[in-house]
Structure 1
Amino acid sequence: MGQQKIKAAGEYANVPIEQVYQQFKTSAAGLSHQEAAKRLTTYGQNAIQRSQRQSQFKLFIKNFTSLMAILLWVSGIIALFAGMLELAIAIWAVNLINGIFSFWQEHAAQKATDSLRQMLPAYTQVLRDGQQQRLDAVDLVPGDIFTIQAGNSVCADARLISATGLQVDESALTGESVPESKTVAYRPGDGKFAETNIVYAGTMAASGNAQAIALNTGMTTEFGQIAQLTQNQRDNVSPLQKELNHLTQQISLLAILIGVLFFLLAIFFVHYPIAKSFIFALGMIVAFIPEGLLPTVTLSLAQGVQRMAKKHALVKELSSVETLGETTVICSDKTGTLTQNQMTVNHIWLPSGEYKVTGQGYVNNGQINIGQQAYTFGQLHDLDLLSQISVLNNNTTVKAPENSGQQAKILGTPTEAALIILAEKAQLDRPALQAKLPRQQEFPFDSERKRMTTIQTVDQQPVAYVKGALDGLLAISTTILDNGQVRPLTDQDRQQILAADKRYAAAGLRSLAMAYRQLQPQTTWVQADVEQQLTFVGLTIMADPPRPEIYAAVAKCHAANIRIIMVTGDSALTAKSIACKIGITSDQARVVTGDELTNMTDADLKAALSDELIFARVAPEQKYRVVTMLQSIGEIVASTGDGVNDAPALKKADIGVAMGMTGTDVAKDAADMILTDDNFASIVAAIEEGRTVYSNIQKFLLYILNSNLPEAAPSVVFLFSRGLVPLPLTVMQILTVDLGTDMLPALGLGAEKSEPGIMAQPPRSHNAHLLNRRILLKAFGWYGLIAAILSTIGYFLTNRVNGWTMANLATGGFDYRQATTMTLATIIFCQIAAALNCRTQRSSVFRIGIFSNRKIIGGIIFEVLLLLALMYLPELQIIFNTAPLRGGEWLYLLAIPIPLLLIEEARKYWLRRRSTH
């Protein structure tokens, strides 16, 4: 039975626990086994249901039903009815090979993983009939009492019954990098998911332990609701898919109109029989339909996917490669995307001075200070005492990575991990300190006190080491340690400390205060008695630092007129500080919080999006709204993220980009692209690759289309001679160019490297088309026109040399196969020059290296070998109506490419000169 919807977990936060027990008909002893079994039937398993996916068969068929594919199927059928079986088979074979290749590429990249299930823990400790037992998490039901321990994932939305030092990492839901303290007492907190006595499925306990009552399970959890929002999103048609459909419509209409025109001219002008006129018109349609376009686009995109994989970007859909090149806005998460998601101490503030933390130790005025392994206060510098407090008042463990490519594993909180690493930089031996200064008692951190206290034995005397938020800790301090001397804490000292803290906060940094107190020996201590009359030691200043490579990546985006908008669940102050620091925005940028966004109308949001903007403390549906609004004003949006909260926006965006290392599997499932190195710079490299792919598609589109005119010219000659001049090119020979000799050089153009300055150009207009006026003029009015003239000359010269006259043609005693072969060969040799000329738009091909693209050179060699096979193999001569050429014809062919290359180089030189004046 499907799950029954109950109230959101947050609605139970301010309800007395006894009423919660009553509403869920449970108690502190938990449910009975019998009642739990009934509820499992009523509410269903505690699992995330996946949206129904398309069958593999439907995914397979999808690759054969695009407009271009349908056009090729129809072309094959027409050829079949015209009695041209070989032509029909060839066209259908191209369609089959292309469809199979596309399916294989996407299937290999898109391995569907049950990610949401993997994020939930496999087992949990539950009370049933008053007895604690280990239970599969999928069998947890509302009303169950279960246990949470440090390191456990939370398996349901739940209300806390008891908690000791519980801190929960909610970054997968909120984007906030610092764990939240959770207590039984209710406080609303700041933002969604911030209730202090509610924990949510999919989050993780960083420290402490607790007991809780399950409120919502499975799809009724907040986690499940986000998943449902993601699953309900339809897949968008990519800009490239739209453009290819538009291009197919253009080409189809052009080919059909030309075919109809030549069909009518053949009947009424040449007086051809209807059947022959139909075959003649079919030849014209075949000549103008670029049968090789679809496989060439597919293979070019596949090459782009492979190149991106080498740059740490895995693309799941081939068409997404090109969409990246059209991106105008990147909606970027902060934590783990722009920053390293690793809290790092970068400064230490002491009454005696400020220290910068480096990999070598603590630096003050150029002097490097290394920590001391001293165990008596009189032997310790203030700095070393602060370091000892950092590692001894600490419950986190940092495990070194097993392999060089892995990150260190943190068992605990990122803040405490930062303090451990701080001490390691000072070369303090933590195990030795723990052995020499053993812990006697602990008062765990809680959100009310905002501090943690441990009592250590130091020089055989008990000493309380305290760390916590500055405001609370400063209030209970009466003395201060200054250059090894303890003196009274004055108002001037307090103002100095608070001023330093404010200065760090303005830079988006967090402070953690350290203090101590020497105690009288006894067996146990009371918290209230210990946490008073402290001696203030200093501040550790920490932050989640930006990625080192982010600065250059952001600058590259700005140069390319790509806008970056930070959309994060972190605080407004931290978000703006990071955004300004790495150059995303200026100090004048407006920060819109989630609460403000809720009250904004669509019109207000649209107006706000026209200026510099940062979104902070936003909820999942709000991220989704921002992406939707940007799309509504014509932007092509790439949305990045790593948490569950990012998934709806990732799915909605034109390009969803998930982090591969720190990203949740939910985000990876929703995304179109996954960064294996979590590096924002990889997004910029992928955008550059996307622009290059689009440019290359235009290059081989130009290359493929320029052969259309010389393919059609022979039919025009035939038409205007009223049928007296035999067709200089057969339909099978036309297909030889489209599917044989053109293919490999076109694929080589698809592998062409970026032209200089491609990322200094703005994103192309959303209304721009692959097939534009410039390409048409160059294809038909320049490259194509020259090839048509040369091939027609070649045809008549060969016929003339062979003794062609109107008389022997009329009697049927003339074999003109050598002339048709010459026409075909001339087109191929013109294409050799075109392949080299199409490599650049304005740059000289000699500057980039005429032999630098080995795939094009290989393609040229292949088309020459194919031409030789068609001319000299008897079996192919019969099928393609060809014959061997003689020495004079070969001299004519060999003289074609170099002049055409030099003429185009002169034109490009003129364009470059004109653009500089």
Structure 2
Amino acid sequence: MGKSGKTTDDFAKLSVDQFYQALKTQATGLSDTDAAKRLQDVGPNTIQQTQSRSQFKAFIKNFTSLMALLLWVSGLIAMFVGMLELGIAIWAVNIINGCFSFWQEHAAQKATDSLKEMLPTYTHVWRDGKTKQINATDLVPGDVFTIQAGNSISADARIIAGNALQVDESALTGESVAVDKQPTYHKGDGKFAEANIVYAGTVAVNGTATAVAVQTGMQTEFGQIASLTQNQQGTVSPLTAELNRLTRQISMIAILIGLIFFVAAIFFVHYPVAKSFIFALGMIVAFIPEGLLPTVTLSLAQGVTRMSKKHALVKELSSVETLGETTVICSDKTGTLTQNQMTINHVWLPKQRYQVSGQGYLNNGQVLAAKTPVDLAQAPDLALLLRISGLDNDTEIQPGKTAQAKPKILGTPTEAAHLILTEKSGLNLDELKQQYPRLEELPFDSDRKRMTTIHRQPDGQQVVYVKGALDGILAICDTILENGQVRPITATDTANIDAANKHYAAEGLRSMAMAYRAYNGLPSDPADCTIEATEQHLTFVGLTVMADPPRPEIYDAVEKCHRANIRIIMVTGDSPLTAKSVAVKIGIDSDQVRVITGDELAAMSDSELQAAVKGEVIFARVAPEQKYRIVKANQHNGEIVAATGDGVNDAPALKQADIGIAMGVTGTDVAKDAADMILTDDNFASIVSAIEEGRTVYSNLQKFLLYILNSNVPEAIPSVLFLFSRGLIPLPLTVMQILTVDLGTDMLPALGLGAEKSEPGIMDQPPRARNAHLLNKTIVWKAFGWYGMIASVLSTVAYFFVNYLHGWPNVALAASGDTYVMATTMTLAAIVFCQIAAAINCRTQVTSVFTIGLFSNRRIWWGIGFEIVLIAVLMYVPVLQGLFNTAAINGRDWLLLFSIPIPLVLIEEARKALVRRHLA
């Protein structure tokens, strides 16, 4: 509603005089002075960003997650107790991780921020009684402007004069068929259906008109939807919520253990308070996986990279995993499930039926009868219908600028489909136009619902070609063409034609009738012919039958979604009949699916809607705010919702959804800005690939969570030994050595696990339950009770082995000196080599690692190589020896270390074999 207080529908219903009076304008437009005042009052005709993104806030966000805050506090405590190196190391990791996360998301955002204004740059208006060209941003309510085919429309406006105007409103409604517009008011079916109103952001595809702007800028329907989208708060991704939960869990465990050891060190070992605090801090550091945040970030970044190769551009890292949890996809139809291009697939003649081969633009396919190409010389009825479809046509198809680019349609999609039909048959349009030059045209209008052209035949005689809606044409046909012969049309013929039309309509197809008239008994000058005199006594030829075809790859994608227990709910602005036909055809729903229209939805309460979306349902003729309601209803039911779309009408739903998916090629900029992910190929099948990638990312997160946590036990056991021996067993591992494992040796193998391919059958499983968590009982048992305990035993054995070689138990365990340094070095190295085995074992849950290929993940082996090199550097570089309390070891020690992973891998393989046998 604009400053006048009237809605667009109010303006549509007024008489012309009342309309001019309400807007304080006239047929000759505004004066420049008046327009300038109005522009100052209502503002520029632009879509404003009500919520500008703050780069500073986006940057800070990466340093304020729960895990990041925990690391800031840990580093501060380390510095406070005098462990400056430890504190700096922890903070450095936090800073590097935060910067990397910001860089990844900023790069993705830049790829989607090339927003192009949908409003045209210039508009022709009447000012001071004459036409002039102005910038579209200067258009104001009351301005009178002209519309021609190919123009984008600059404002919501009422038509005051028009000639066969047709407008593509798919950006608002999702309906792929052009809409007729005229000066006379008529309330159509659904929203945006007023016959005398055009809307900003839509495109004129045929005819001309003069219109008066009634709403501009943010007051237009386009602007209102954009405003709703911008004001809608985004939802927290499930992964973010889960990582926050995991952080709280680990933090509570670590702090509780640290507190227990702090008290025990004071009262059991009789340590001073300060020394007990440092000891407890070491335990906290041991149980906080400092490497978790960077490895999660890097794993998600790897997922983003892999998904970009599959034509899915992710704007936020956490959105990768959200896809894997998706339980419901609320999908638009036009351009998402279908190709958004009308295609003729059947030709119906009184005695013949034809299927049209080939999909897409200007294919070289033939018109088929069954499976045999038709010889047009032997099919005169078909040849005539093809001439009518190609010549009674004002649309032009321009080839794409490159071989890969789609041709550009200058006109309506329906007429383009008829041109393509003629081309497919092998006829040459340019030659036809020379053989049958056009003499006159009676343009299409929404009252007659037909278009007529008059041509000269090669024999010099004139002929009338007519195409349009069946009901209008059949009423003015006296005869019918059958096998090349013209005979009177009978009631049986009419019944057969009607039956064929209803049959195609039931399948969601649109029919167009073709007729002709031998030119006789009319003025010799075609320019003197009137509609009434020309469009009568026609001969019915046949029907062309068309649809917006499903994408070829959609069938397999839908089948995969069903196998993965992911429901698809079609939400479209298209008609109920067409929506149901497409949904049933591609396998989304059964023939028993419930179809709910926008009007029915408006009358439903939230609880009724929530109940409805639990079943098999399609939503048709819906308005933008209703799509938003549908997404919220599914979320109320506990679903993880992905919403797809390309139009302005989809944007609010995309923003509200757990993950919004916009089309990159056909999508509007408003939709892209609202979405979390953009499909660069507009291919619904890419969503399925992205979902599989999301599931793999989550599985890999669990794998490297298991990998990282299993080292906590061998890091903590030395402190337990120290505590329960009341200090007789010196600490076998220092805090800096613990940090070496968490931030050094563990990192690259963990990233290698993040790049692991999905295990077989991942898309045959249901989405993970909403109450399932990254840290579950299985991971806890494996990390602490299986992998962790084995590594603890081996690392403890390594510690005592070194002391044994230097006289223990006959000599007390040293708390300092060369033997102590050598023992802590071997303890650290043993943990590292246990982690090498863990990296291999964590690659699969139950599948044998030899089945997927021991060396198939090269990143794991690069990580293992890095681990070995890093531990060697810490042992042999003098500066690092002092910092990390390490010493050089000999060849015998290295042989012992390299023997550790072999039995650990074999033991785990035996366990997995038992699990597989049990599952079988």
Distance apart, 1:112 and its partner CA: 8.0
The amino acid of 1:750's aligned partner reads G
Structure 1 match to 2:374:
369
The verdict on how the C-alpha distance between 1:691 and 1:112 changes in structure 2, with shifts beyond 3 A counting, is: closer
The amino acid of 1:846's aligned partner reads F
The amino acid of 1:734's aligned partner reads I
SS at match of 2:774: coil
Structure 1 match to 2:14:
15
SS at match of 2:763: helix
Structure 1 match to 2:866:
862
CA distance in 1, matches of 2:648, 2:376: 41
Contact 2:572/2:579 (<8 A) preserved = yes
| 2:793 maps to which of 789, 794, 799 | 789
SS at match of 1:481: strand
Measured against aligned partners, the alpha-carbon deviations of 1:367-411 in whole angstroms (never above 9, x if no partner) come to 311546xxxxxx971111101100111111111122232211111
Measured against aligned partners, the alpha-carbon deviations of 1:835-870 in whole angstroms (never above 9, x if no partner) come to 000000000000000000000000000000001111
Measured against aligned partners, the alpha-carbon deviations of 1:56-78 in whole angstroms (never above 9, x if no partner) come to 11111110000000000000001
Contact 1:169/1:206 (<8 A) preserved = yes
CA distance in 1, matches of 2:337, 2:129: 48
Distance apart, 1:805 and its partner CA: 5.2
What pairs up with 1:756-795 in 2 under 5 angstroms?
A: 756-795=760-799
Of 797-806 and 227-236, more deviation after overlay is shown by 797-806
The amino acid of 1:225's aligned partner reads Q
* Pairing 1:649–2:657 present: no
What pairs up with 1:336-485 in 2 under 5 angstroms?
A: 336-359=335-358, 360-371=365-376, 381-458=380-457, 459-485=459-485
CA distance in 1, matches of 2:722, 2:370: 90
Structure 2 match to 1:276:
275
Structure 2 match to 1:376:
none
Structure 2 match to 1:802:
806
Structure 2 match to 1:702:
706
The amino acid of 2:245's aligned partner reads H
* Pairing 1:194–2:198 present: no
The amino acid of 1:280's aligned partner reads F
Distance apart, 1:888 and its partner CA: 2.9
What pairs up with 1:200-279 in 2 under 5 angstroms?
A: 200-279=199-278
Structure 1 runs not aligned, ≥5 long: 373-378
SS at match of 2:110: coil
Distance apart, 1:887 and its partner CA: 3.0
The verdict on how the C-alpha distance between 1:344 and 1:832 changes in structure 2, with shifts beyond 3 A counting, is: same
| 2:594 maps to which of 590, 593, 596 | 590
Contact 2:23/2:141 (<8 A) preserved = yes
CA distance in 2, matches of 1:371, 1:341: 30
CA distance in 1, matches of 2:727, 2:372: 95
The amino acid of 2:492's aligned partner reads Q
Measured against aligned partners, the alpha-carbon deviations of 1:600-639 in whole angstroms (never above 9, x if no partner) come to 1112112211211000000001001000111111110000
What pairs up with 1:512-661 in 2 under 5 angstroms?
A: 512-520=512-520, 522-523=524-525, 524=527, 525-661=529-665
The amino acid of 1:500's aligned partner reads A
CA distance in 1, matches of 2:115, 2:503: 42
TM-score under structure 2 length normalisation: 0.97
The verdict on how the C-alpha distance between 1:5 and 1:861 changes in structure 2, with shifts beyond 3 A counting, is: farther
| 2:677 maps to which of 673, 676, 679 | 673
Structure 1 match to 2:499:
499
SS at match of 2:204: strand
The verdict on how the C-alpha distance between 1:596 and 1:812 changes in structure 2, with shifts beyond 3 A counting, is: closer
Structure 1 match to 2:362:
none
SS at match of 2:665: coil
| 1:736 maps to which of 733, 740, 751 | 740
Distance apart, 1:885 and its partner CA: 1.5
SS at match of 1:13: helix
The amino acid of 2:797's aligned partner reads I
The amino acid of 2:859's aligned partner reads K
Of 811-820 and 247-256, more deviation after overlay is shown by 811-820
The verdict on how the C-alpha distance between 1:852 and 1:811 changes in structure 2, with shifts beyond 3 A counting, is: closer
The verdict on how the C-alpha distance between 1:182 and 1:370 changes in structure 2, with shifts beyond 3 A counting, is: farther
CA distance in 1, matches of 2:2, 2:715: 65
Structure 1 match to 2:510:
510
Structure 1 match to 2:73:
74
Measured against aligned partners, the alpha-carbon deviations of 1:455-483 in whole angstroms (never above 9, x if no partner) come to 11113222111000111110110100111
Contact 1:798/1:889 (<8 A) preserved = no
CA distance in 2, matches of 1:813, 1:646: 70
SS at match of 1:29: coil
CA distance in 2, matches of 1:131, 1:49: 30
The amino acid of 1:59's aligned partner reads A
Distance apart, 1:592 and its partner CA: 0.2
Distance apart, 1:8 and its partner CA: 2.1
Contact 1:115/1:669 (<8 A) preserved = no
Measured against aligned partners, the alpha-carbon deviations of 1:327-363 in whole angstroms (never above 9, x if no partner) come to 0000000000000111111110111210111143221
CA distance in 2, matches of 1:605, 1:146: 43
SS at match of 2:249: helix
Contact 2:436/2:456 (<8 A) preserved = yes
CA distance in 2, matches of 1:653, 1:812: 59
CA distance in 2, matches of 1:805, 1:470: 103
CA distance in 2, matches of 1:807, 1:5: 97
The verdict on how the C-alpha distance between 1:898 and 1:32 changes in structure 2, with shifts beyond 3 A counting, is: same
The amino acid of 1:680's aligned partner reads F
Distance apart, 1:115 and its partner CA: 7.2
Measured against aligned partners, the alpha-carbon deviations of 1:53-107 in whole angstroms (never above 9, x if no partner) come to 2321111111000000000000000100111111011100100000000000000
CA distance in 2, matches of 1:684, 1:769: 23
The amino acid of 1:362's aligned partner reads V
Distance apart, 1:435 and its partner CA: 1.8
The amino acid of 1:320's aligned partner reads S
What pairs up with 1:289-328 in 2 under 5 angstroms?
A: 289-328=288-327
CA distance in 2, matches of 1:539, 1:191: 28
The verdict on how the C-alpha distance between 1:514 and 1:746 changes in structure 2, with shifts beyond 3 A counting, is: same
| 2:696 maps to which of 680, 692, 710 | 692
Distance apart, 1:814 and its partner CA: 6.2
Distance apart, 1:20 and its partner CA: 0.6
Contact 1:644/1:666 (<8 A) preserved = yes
Contact 2:708/2:742 (<8 A) preserved = yes
The amino acid of 1:652's aligned partner reads Q
CA distance in 2, matches of 1:255, 1:815: 30
Structure 2 runs not aligned, ≥5 long: 359-364
Structure 2 match to 1:169:
168
Contact 2:478/2:489 (<8 A) preserved = yes
CA distance in 2, matches of 1:397, 1:811: 89
CA distance in 1, matches of 2:346, 2:353: 7
| 1:895 maps to which of 881, 896, 899 | 899
Of 358-367 and 608-617, more deviation after overlay is shown by 358-367
SS at match of 2:504: helix
Contact 1:710/1:785 (<8 A) preserved = yes
CA distance in 2, matches of 1:508, 1:433: 32
CA distance in 2, matches of 1:112, 1:646: 20
The amino acid of 1:835's aligned partner reads A
Of 215-224 and 891-900, more deviation after overlay is shown by 891-900
The amino acid of 1:305's aligned partner reads V
